[in-house]
Structure 1
Amino acid sequence: MSYVPLNISHLKAIVFDLDNTLVTSDMDFTWLREQLGCPLSSDLLSYVEQLECQQAREKAHSVILEHELHDARTSQPMPGCLSLLDFIQRKRLLTAVITRNCAEATQQKIAHNQLNIPRIITREHFPPKPSPDSLLALAQEWQLQRHQILYVGDFLYDLQAAFNADMPSCLVTHGKKVPFSNQASLVVEHLHDLEEIITKQLV
């Protein structure tokens, strides 16, 4: 996998992942996997969906929801988040959130952190990332070319989803070394760095 080149002057929309991109997340996925019996090598959501017993699937979804709702109540905006969203509004760019979280926890996080984002896509709406379906649906909904949409996230699934949708991506590292940073169109440490870069290049 590589990445789709980014031309900031062409941007009409910036779409975000939610957890540890726009807001903090303290989800203990190791403990959650242990509770559900999910191997470290398996994608958690895919593992749950493949459980043959419906009762086991429902119980697993309930456990995940409990973790997500607790995480929503304790979340806070990431550095530069609110300023960047204000900037996007001033520039009249389109924006949305695409997350692997459930709708209930996502709406609670958006409200708790007072994020002004009108379009929210969760795992109930489309197959979860790295599937490109949600990004492609937004492009069609907004009547934009794929290169006009930038997807911003902090994890490999975000970069893969953007690449699979033939869209540029931005990786937020929070100052950490990330082994998959070479798969992003743009790499920044924090959201305010992204705002600074766009400010200089977006007319």
Structure 2
Amino acid sequence: MSYVPLNINHIKAIVFDLDNTLVTSDMDFAWLREQLGCPLSSDLLSYVDDIECSEERARAHDVILNHELEDARTSHPMPGCLSILEFIHSNHFLTAVITRNCAEATDQKIAHNRLNIPRVITREHFPPKPSPDALIALAQEWQLQCHQVLYVGDFLYDLQAAFNAKMPSCLVTHGKEVAFSEQASLVVDHLHDLEDFISRHLIHA
């Protein structure tokens, strides 16, 4: 996998992952996998969806939901989050959140952190990342070409979803070494670095 080149002057919309991109998340996926018997080689959500017994599958979904809701209650904005959202609105970019979280936890997390985001897509709406379906549908909804949408996230699934949608991507590393950083169109340490990058190009455009 590679990445779609970014031309910031073409960008009309900036779309975000939620957990550890806009707001903090302390989801303990190792604990969840242990509770649900999910092997490390399997995607957790896909593993649960494939459980044959409906009662067992429902119980597994409840375990994940309760963990997500608790995570929402303890979350707070990541550095630069509120500033870049204000910057986006001030400069008339479109914006949205696409997350693998469920709708209930996502709504609670966005309300708890007072995020001004008009469009939110969760795993109930489209197949979860790295599927590109949500990103493609959002571009069509906004009547934009895929190269006009920048997807910002902190994990490999975010970069894969953007690449699969033929969109440029921005990886937020939080100042850490990231093994898959070469698969991003743009790499920044924090959200305010992305805001600075866009600001410089707006000034000189």
When the two structures are superposed, what TM-score results if normalisation uses the length of structure 2? 0.98
Is 2:68 aligned against 1:36? no
Residue aligning to 1:83:
83
Q: Which residue of 2 aligns with 1:133?
A: 133
* Cα distance in 2 between the residues matched to 1:141 and 1:93: 15
Matches of 1:166 and 1:90, distance apart in 2: 27
Percent identity between matched residues is 80
SS at match of 1:15: strand
User: What root-mean-square deviation, in Å, do the aligned CA atoms of Structure 1 and Structure 2 show?
Assistant: 0.5
- Structure 2 residue ranges without an equivalent (≥5): none
Offset from partner CA, 1:79-110 (integer Å, 9 cap, x none): 00000000000001000000000000000000
| Residue equivalent to 2:184 | 184
Cα offset, 1:55, TM superposition: 0.6
Matching residue's letter, 1:34 = E
CA distance in 2, matches of 1:139, 1:16: 13
CA displacement 1:99-153 (0-9 Å, x = unmatched) = 0000000000000000000000000000000000000000100000111000000
Report whether the alignment pairs 1:24 with 2:24. Answer: yes
In 1, Cα distance between equivalents of 2:49 and 2:111: 28
Counterparts in 2 of 1:137-176, with a 5 A limit? 137-176=137-176
1:38-69 C-alpha deviation (Å, 9 max, x unpaired): 00111000000111111111000000000000
Letter of the structure 2 residue corresponding to residue 128 of structure 1:
P
- Give the letter aligned to residue 176 of structure 2: K
Work out the CA distance in 2 between the residues paired with 1:124 and 1:14. Answer: 21
Counterpart CA distance in 2 for 1:152 and 1:174 is 13
State the alpha-carbon separation in 2 of the partners of residues 165 and 11 from structure 1: 15
CA distance in 1: counterparts of 2:146 and 2:122, whole angstroms: 20
TM-score w.r.t. length of structure 1? 0.99
Unaligned runs of 5+ in 1: none
Read off the aligned partner of 1:124 and give its amino acid letter: E
Q: How many residues align?
A: 203
Matches of 1:106 and 1:121, distance apart in 2: 9
What residue is the counterpart of 2:4 in the other structure? 4
Equivalent-residue separation in structure 2 for 1:136 and 1:15 (angstroms):
12
Query: 1:94-113, aligned counterparts within 5 Å?
Result: 94-113=94-113
Mapped partners of 2:33, 2:115: distance in 1: 29
**Matched letter for residue 168 of structure 1:** P
After TM superposition, give the deviation of residue 14 of structure 1 in Å. 0.1
